[in-house]
Amino acid sequence: MEQELTFKSQGMALAASFSLPSPGSPCVVLSHGLESHKDGNKWLVLDRALNEAGFACLRFTYSGCGEGRGKSEGDFENTSLSGRIQDYRAALDFAQSMDIDIDRLGTIGSSLGGMVALASRDSRIKAMVVVATPCILSPDILGWLDNGRSSRLLTLPSGRRIKAEGLEDTRQFDILKAASETGCPLLVIHGAEDEAVPLRDGYRIYEAAREPKALEVISGGDHSLDGPEALERLVGLSVEWFLRYLGCE
Q: Using the predicted structure, report yes or no on whether residue 30 has a pLDDT greater than 50.
A: yes
197-225 residue pLDDT tens: 999 999 999 999 999 999 999 999 999 99
- Report domain extents, the chain: 2-245
CB 77 within 8 A of CB 71: no
Closest CA relative to residue 79, chosen from 16, 32, 143: 32
Identify the band that residue 247 occupies on the pLDDT scale cut at 50, 70 and 90: confident
pTM for this predicted structure = 0.95
- Kindly give, in sequence order, each residue whose CB lies less than 8 Å from that of residue 152, ignoring residues fewer than 6 positions away: 164
Strands (E), 41-139: 56-60, 100-110, 125-131
Percent of the chain at pLDDT > 90 equals 82
Q: Using the predicted structure, report yes or no on whether residue 102 has a pLDDT greater than 90.
A: yes
CATH, domain range 2-245: 3.40.50.1820
Mean pLDDT, range 106-117, rounded to an integer: 97
> Which amino acid does the sequence have at 197?
V
Q: Residue 150's pLDDT is what?
A: 47
Q: Residue 140's pLDDT is what?
A: 54
Q: Residue 159's pLDDT is what?
A: 84
Q: Using the predicted structure, report yes or no on whether residue 142 has a pLDDT greater than 50.
A: no
Q: Using the predicted structure, report yes or no on whether residue 108 has a pLDDT greater than 60.
A: yes
Q: Residue 180's pLDDT is what?
A: 97
Give the integer Cα–Cα distance in Å for 96 and 200.
35
143-191 residue pLDDT tens: 455 555 544 788 888 888 888 888 888 889 999 999 999 999 999 999 9
61-94 residue pLDDT tens: 999 999 888 999 999 999 999 999 999 999 999 9
State whether residue 134 is helix, strand or coil.
Answer: coil
38-52, 129-143, 198-212: segment of lowest average pLDDT? 129-143
Q: Report DSSP letters for 112-146, one per residue.
A: HHHHHHHHH--TTEEEEEEES--SS--HHHHHHHT
Average pLDDT, the chain: 93
